[in-house]
């Protein structure tokens, strides 16, 4: 291998040969060092890819992402210039999205058809593959001065090329840089692949965000409609109450008086419900951070004007400790159910609904873990008074607090509730804080606090 020694004694020749081998040993050793350095560089590239991805994940706008990605293409792979190109719909024109390097032109470029034929095929779902070789762009100004390039296309879902990531060195500085080599191909493709995935994820997230905004907009419209309708209904209902009072002033006979009382009571209940709906729409609109509407029974001052209801303290701001309690709400009116449920759930209460007295009894028999019952009094099939008596007949429910929730506000009504076995009495429309306060009191202290 090193030539046959042809002079002197064999020992001397052997010595010369050995010395030559000693001299050449560093060259062999250096080859090993080169291999190790190449491995070292590859490891460093993956480390750098991670660093760049961490940096990219912190970016909010796509333009920053593209710019930093292009920087990564030269930095990670120790190259001079780089770019990201987007293929236009005509399949030929390349639009520069970002680039790094001196004097990069910004004009539109065209895809080299030969390169396209060689390297870019229809490849639905294909993982990007980088290639090293003749440059891919047939355009004046940019490619001619490149001495080496590595490129990686990304594909759309239909298999067409979407973007091309490239990096390289110019003829001018070819002596300063290593040419892009085959050992960079896999890590180059991995970097591009990660960036493409990230860009796709961002695009997907934006679609989701748009869908959410559309849904929120529809919900807002619905809420607005409810609010408008409720406000419009308030005026005639107030008029009904007003005229009912006027009619009462004419000393009607007992039968008419009873009818007027019912009209008055129902109208006030209806007005209360409208107020509640308006409060809920305010909450939905995000105008307040919590449930803030008053559920007070409308007073005469309210009846004289269209002023919005007075705002009371927030239910969720109350200091009551009700989280984890379980309450049975009994009411035949679905809107009332919804309102009460909304108030209780916001305070962390687990709510079970029943439509009448019988359903309430069934619910209690099925599950005796309730901490309290909110009981409407007037219900079809079995009213609240009867249901309460039946509950109290069962010793299991001796200590179960039952709170009347009723439109009946007279002293007799209160006595009737207590007589039936109820512990408290709240009139509709109600203040949410009063409901919570009462629940808190009864749940925490129990039915027989003095005992």
Partner 1 sequence: MIDFYSASTRAVDSGRAIEECFAAAFGLGQETNCDVVILHASMGHRFDDLVKRTRELAPSAHIVGASCCGVIGREGVGESMRDVALMAMRGKGELFLAGIDEIYGTNSYEKARELALDLQSKSDQINMLYYVSSGIDIANDRAIAGIESVFGQEMPIFGGTASDDMRGITSHQFYEDQDMEHGAFLIGFADPTLRVVTRATHGFVATGEPFVVTRSNGSCIYELNGKPAWEEYTRRLGLSVDSMCEDTIPIGALAEKLPEDLAREYGNSHILRAVTRRGKNGKMHYTSACPEGTKLWLTKRDEPRIFSEMEKTMASLCDEAQGASPVAVFHSDCLARGRYLLDRIRKEELIAMMQTPLSTEGEIPPWLGMYGFGEFARLGGRNRYHNYSTGLYVLFRD
Residues lying near partner 1 in the complex (CB under 8 A) are found at 19-20, 22-30, 33, 36-37, 40, 44, 71, 74-75, 78-80, 100, 102, 175-177
Q: What minimum distance in Å lies between the beta carbon of 288 and partner 1? A: 41
Q: CB of 72: closest distance to partner 1 in angstroms?
A: 8
Neighbours of 444 (CB within 10 A): 13
Helix (H, G, I), strand (E, B) or coil at 304: helix
Strand order in the sheet with 109-110: 109-110, 93-100, 81-87, 161-170, 146-155, 131-132
In whole angstroms, how close is the CB of 104 to partner 1 at the nearest point? 13
Do the Cβ atoms of 108 and 93 come closer than 8 Å? yes
Q: How far is the CB of 166 from partner 1 (least distance, A)?
A: 16
User: How long a stretch of residues is the chain?
Assistant: 451
Residues 6+ apart with CB under 8 A from 281: 223, 224, 226, 227, 230
Q: Which is nearer to partner 1, 37 or 126 (CB)?
A: 37
Q: Least distance to partner 1 from the beta carbon of 287, Å? A: 41
Which residues, 6+ apart, have CB-to-CB distance to 159 below 8 Å?
122, 123, 124, 125, 126
- The sign of the CA dihedral 358, 362, 368, 369 is negative
Please give the radius of gyration of the chain, using alpha carbons only, rounded to the nearest integer: 41
In the bound state with partner 1, the residue whose beta carbon lies nearer, of 82 and 283, is 82
Find the distance separating the first CA and the last CA of the chain, reported in whole Å: 110
- Between residues 67 and 116, which has the closer beta carbon with respect to partner 1? 67
Question: Which is nearer to partner 1, 165 or 397 (by Cβ)?
Answer: 165
Cα separations in angstroms, 143 against 53, 119, 173: 28, 17, 14
Q: Is the Cβ of residue 104 or residue 441 nearer to partner 1 in the bound state? A: 104
What's the min distance (Å) between Cβ of 75 and partner 1?
5
Q: List, in sequence order, the alpha helices (H) in 285-404.
A: 300-304, 334-346, 357-366, 384-393
Which is nearer to partner 1, 157 or 176 (by Cβ)?
176
Residues pairing with 351 in the sheet: 327
Least separation in angstroms between residue 80's CB and partner 1 is: 7
Q: Cα dist. 383→331, 332, 360, 406 in Å?
A: 9, 10, 10, 11
Which residue lies nearer to partner 1 by CB, 52 or 385? 52
Q: Nearer Cβ to partner 1, position 22 or 410?
A: 22
User: CB-wise, 74 or 364, nearer to partner 1?
Assistant: 74
H or E stretch at 275? helix 254-284
Answer whether 309's CB lies under 8 Å from 333's CB.
no
> Is 11 or 158 the residue whose CB approaches partner 1 more closely?
11
**Smallest separation (angstroms) from partner 1 to the CB of 97:** 17
Own/partner long-range contacts of 434-437 (Cβ < 8 Å, ≥24 apart): 435/340, 435/343, 435/344, 435/374, 435/403, 435/405, 436/315, 436/318, 436/320, 436/322, 436/343, 436/344, 436/347, 437/318, 437/320
Cβ at position 195, least distance to partner 1 in Å: 16
Q: How far is the CB of 150 from partner 1 (least distance, A)?
A: 15
Supply the minimum distance, in Å, between the C-beta of residue 202 and partner 1: 22
Q: Where are the alpha helices (DSSP H) in 58-121?
A: 62-76, 113-119
Residue with tokens 């007589």, as numbered in its chain: 419
Closest CA to 73 of 65, 83, 64, 63: 83
Nearer to partner 1, 168 or 432 (CB): 168
């Amino acid at each position: 291998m090193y030539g046959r020694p042809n002079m002197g004694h064999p020992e001397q020749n052997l010595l010369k040969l050995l010395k030559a081998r000693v001299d050449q040993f560093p060259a062999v050793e250096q080859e090993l060092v080169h291999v190790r350095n190449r491995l070292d560089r590859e490891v460093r590239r993956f480390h750098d890819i991670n660093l760049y991805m961490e940096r990219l994940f912190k970016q909010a706008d796509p333009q920053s992402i593209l710019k930093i990605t292009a920087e990564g293409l030269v930095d990670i792979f120790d190259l001079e210039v780089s770019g990201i190109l987007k293929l236009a719909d005509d399949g030929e024109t390349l639009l520069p999205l970002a680039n790094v390097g001196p004097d990069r032109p910004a004009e539109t470029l065209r895809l080299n058809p030969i390169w396209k034929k060689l390297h870019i095929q229809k490849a639905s779902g294909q993982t990007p593959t980088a290639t090293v070789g003749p440059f891919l762009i047939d355009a004046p100004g940019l490619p001619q001065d490149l001495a080496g390039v590595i490129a990686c296309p990304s594909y759309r879902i239909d298999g067409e090329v979407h973007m091309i990531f490239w990096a390289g060195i110019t003829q001018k500085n070819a002596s300063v840089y290593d040419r892009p080599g085959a050992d960079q191909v896999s890590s180059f493709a991995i970097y591009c692949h990660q960036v493409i995935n990230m860009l796709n994820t961002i695009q997907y997230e934006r679609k989701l965000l748009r869908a959410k905004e559309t849904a929120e907009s529809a919900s807002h419209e619905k809420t607005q409609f409810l609010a408008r309708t409720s406000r419009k209904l308030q005026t005639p209902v107030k008029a009904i109450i007003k005229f009912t009072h006027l009619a009462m002033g004419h000393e009607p006979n007992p039968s008419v008086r009873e009818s007027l009382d019912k009209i008055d009571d129902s109208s006030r209940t209806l007005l209360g419900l409208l107020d509640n709906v308006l409060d809920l729409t305010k909450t939905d609109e995000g105008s307040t951070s919590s449930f803030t509407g008053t559920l007070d029974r409308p007073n005469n001052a309210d009846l004289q004007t269209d002023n919005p209801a007075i705002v009371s303290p927030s239910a969720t701001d109350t200091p009551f400790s009700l989280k984890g309690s379980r309450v049975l709400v009994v009411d035949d009116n679905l809107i009332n159910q919804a309102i009460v449920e909304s108030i209780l759930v916001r305070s962390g209460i687990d709510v079970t609904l029943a439509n009448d007295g019988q359903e309430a009894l069934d619910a209690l028999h099925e599950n005796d873990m309730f901490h309290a019952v909110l009981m409407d009094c007037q219900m079809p099939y079995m009213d609240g008074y009867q249901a309460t008596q039946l509950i109290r007949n069962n010793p299991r429910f001796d200590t179960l607090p039952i709170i009347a929730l009723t439109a009946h506000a007279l002293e007799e009504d209160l006595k009737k509730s207590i007589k039936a076995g109820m512990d408290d009495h709240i009139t509709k429309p109600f203040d949410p804080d009063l409901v919570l306060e009462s629940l808190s009191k009864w749940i925490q202290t129990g039915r027989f606090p003095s005992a």
